[in-house]
Structure 1
């Protein structure tokens, strides 16, 4: 059984306006009206939706609260101006699991004046008791390769997602069941399968109040169908079939491409910005590694999430060093945005959480660094002179403009 989209209620503001007939009251009758007996003034203009004046959507799981707070106005580069060094930090899954990591990085973002992207797994708002509501493509009803959250963790996740959006962060999608192997893997899905999966992810986010029965939580303060403009596929698989479905939905970017280089983003054939995980230098190794915690784990402890504690300090420094080395290579050359992908996990004693925090604080100490969401990066790219964007895209990994930035930023 699949959830259907719920209708919008309360979107009109609903003021009851008094109507008056003009020109029908004789002057005599007007003169007979007692002093002070005047028609009541009509209400003022509708102030529009806001956090204090939300417009519930559907069952009230979400609400229109107006423009998102803390969004920078993108500015076009002046001629010869060096681009900022953008850093985009994203979180796959984005569940609050009671270990304090979601709060930790919301606090860090405030300290660094940073925006991030949270790729929410829609299934994390669906109670396991309602698992039959999920019909994953090419898999049994209710199946999932990630666990369902407890009610306590669902509640905590809803609260943190609300805070995150009000703090200026983006809520994207990591889809639902995270199928990476076998016949039902997302690698084998069609565009129609992806559209089905997306529709279900949206339903779980927009109908959590009905699904959970929670009636004491504030709504998520956004219209998710408008908010959702990009995502990252499970295990970075199935992207070729996803892109047509994403384009049909009007998405602006995809962050699923594996093994991207540290160059300026380009658009896919479908018109989406391609914002991939990138290969970055890996201290202590003779190869580069994807800019994601799990890729480092795979190359350090062979995929084991509880590797040798005696090596944790070494691995932590390698991970921190990889993020910083990727940052410095771009910062000192082509200024290509740096994309970092992480998970709220305590793998290998939590060293990757510590590594990314240390790296971000180090990056923040440099001038001209901006921590933005993927959507904010798209906003910035789209206000630039297209000729300038093309020039930036022409710079190779680690390449600085030989004759200065005025030869690249020509607009």
Structure 2
């Protein structure tokens, strides 16, 4: 049974994290379209804004083109007794196109189902390898990167699809740069100054790709990245505690780096919305698995991305059913937002890409479901009455609102105290350490 090759790690942004069942693994990676998020309670659809002449920023790598197209109208607070929408966020770590056609595949899928997503772009994916010494990673040698660098052709493709994604209403976040998960230089050991440097460099590689590549014929990215960037996901879900104070200073509104979160309504840490990957039921097992492609793989094929193909049909079904079980548990009970993390990968014959596509198709048309980006979700959170959010946070995993939504979300209903989170206990023979399979993911 083969493991992850160095080439795969370089192409996809693989990281190592905490344990799966008998495994210590984690994963990480990479025109104006028509898709819009569906309107929901208190939310109306808007048409695309009027076109304006782009205003180049800096060296012309980015540009101001006006309000982002294909966005919903400003969210409004839930009305008394109103059932919350079921938010589902599909996000992609790395967001680099490496010639496998997965970036455009999921842009097309999003258009077909009125879905919006978040793409966590790795800054190094816009930096040519011949210019790698421009990168000075904290606590690591100049030019070092645990995910390598893309070919020039793949950098161009990545630019093309990031450009398209933003015009179609998707969010461009960050997955930072070198993806260091182990050793003394791991992001787990970085302090505030290190994170500040890493973020500044990640932004700079997006904002100066034209100078770094010399590709003056390639179109500018159609957004101001200083305004677009409001959140990210750290490599291997490490280092959040020291990152958050910096994120708050920079005005970031959320962070998606927590591993193994429960399917509950989120709260803020250090003034920043904490939006974790979540533990979901894992069919055929007594433990739960993290809502990310690599973590499901880690519990199926124990670090092999090319396991025997006779396993693929069953594993594809199991992965799909894990995502759908997590969706149903939230949709039918507390309506907690559901977060799914992905990479543009072809592990085990591409079964995890098939699973996430099938999941999206099967949930997209259900009543009250909104397939949104993290930015759109925190826009909605920030528009709500804090007292209502506190009541929502009082609902446990899989708990229906007592008396139904009409009675639960009313002004005179007292807030239910949030139960304290119990620490993880050592796993049993058929369970991973912790409750989430391979807990650390990107």
Measured against the shorter chain, the TM-score band is: 0.7 to 0.9
Counterpart in the other structure of 1:46: none
Deviation at 1:407, TM superposition (A): 3.2
TM-score, normalised with respect to structure 2: 0.81
Counterpart in the other structure of 1:376: 376
Deviation at 1:75, TM superposition (A): 2.2
Counterpart in the other structure of 1:312: 312
Larger radius of gyration: 1
Counterpart in the other structure of 1:151: 152
Deviation at 1:308, TM superposition (A): 1.7
What is the 5 A alignment of 1:132-211?
A: 132-211=133-212
Tell me whether 210-219 or 271-280 shows the greater mean CA deviation.
210-219
Q: Find the residue that maps to 1:171 and give its secondary structure.
A: strand
Counterpart in the other structure of 2:392: 392
Tell me whether 185-194 or 72-81 shows the greater mean CA deviation.
72-81
Q: Distance in 1 between matches of 2:105 and 2:254?
A: 27
Deviation at 1:408, TM superposition (A): 3.2
Deviations 1:345-374 (A, max 9, x none): 001110000000001111113111100000
Q: Is the 8 A contact 1:51 1:65 kept in 2?
A: yes
Q: Find the residue that maps to 1:144 and give its secondary structure.
A: coil
Q: Is the 8 A contact 1:62 1:220 kept in 2?
A: yes
Q: Is the 8 A contact 1:77 1:409 kept in 2?
A: no
What is the 5 A alignment of 1:234-273?
A: 234-268=235-269, 270-273=270-273
Q: Find the residue that maps to 1:158 and give its secondary structure.
A: helix
Counterpart in the other structure of 2:274: 274
Tell me whether 53-62 or 306-315 shows the greater mean CA deviation.
306-315
Deviation at 1:52, TM superposition (A): 4.3
Alpha-carbon RMSD across the aligned residues, in angstroms, is 1.1
Q: Distance in 1 between matches of 2:286 and 2:360?
A: 24
Q: Is the 8 A contact 1:127 1:150 kept in 2?
A: yes
Q: Find the residue that maps to 1:303 and give its secondary structure.
A: coil
Deviation at 1:306, TM superposition (A): 1.0
Q: Is the 8 A contact 1:229 1:252 kept in 2?
A: yes
Q: Distance in 2 between matches of 1:255 and 1:130?
A: 29
Counterpart in the other structure of 2:77: 76
TM-score, normalised with respect to structure 1: 0.87
Q: Is the 8 A contact 2:94 2:175 kept in 1?
A: yes
Q: Distance in 2 between matches of 1:410 and 1:376?
A: 25
Q: Distance in 2 between matches of 1:247 and 1:303?
A: 35
Q: Is the 8 A contact 1:189 1:238 kept in 2?
A: yes
Counterpart in the other structure of 1:302: 302
Q: Find the residue that maps to 2:104 and give its secondary structure.
A: helix
Q: Distance in 2 between matches of 1:112 and 1:392?
A: 28
Q: Find the residue that maps to 1:96 and give its secondary structure.
A: coil
Counterpart in the other structure of 1:410: 410
Deviation at 1:114, TM superposition (A): 0.7
Counterpart in the other structure of 2:287: 287
Give the gaps of 5 or more residues in structure 1: 1-48
Q: Distance in 2 between matches of 1:53 and 1:258?
A: 42
Tell me whether 248-257 or 51-60 shows the greater mean CA deviation.
51-60
Deviation at 1:79, TM superposition (A): 1.2
Counterpart in the other structure of 2:359: 359
Counterpart in the other structure of 1:118: 119
Counterpart in the other structure of 1:343: 343
Which of the pair has the greater relative contact order for Cα pairs under 8 Å at 6+ separation? 2
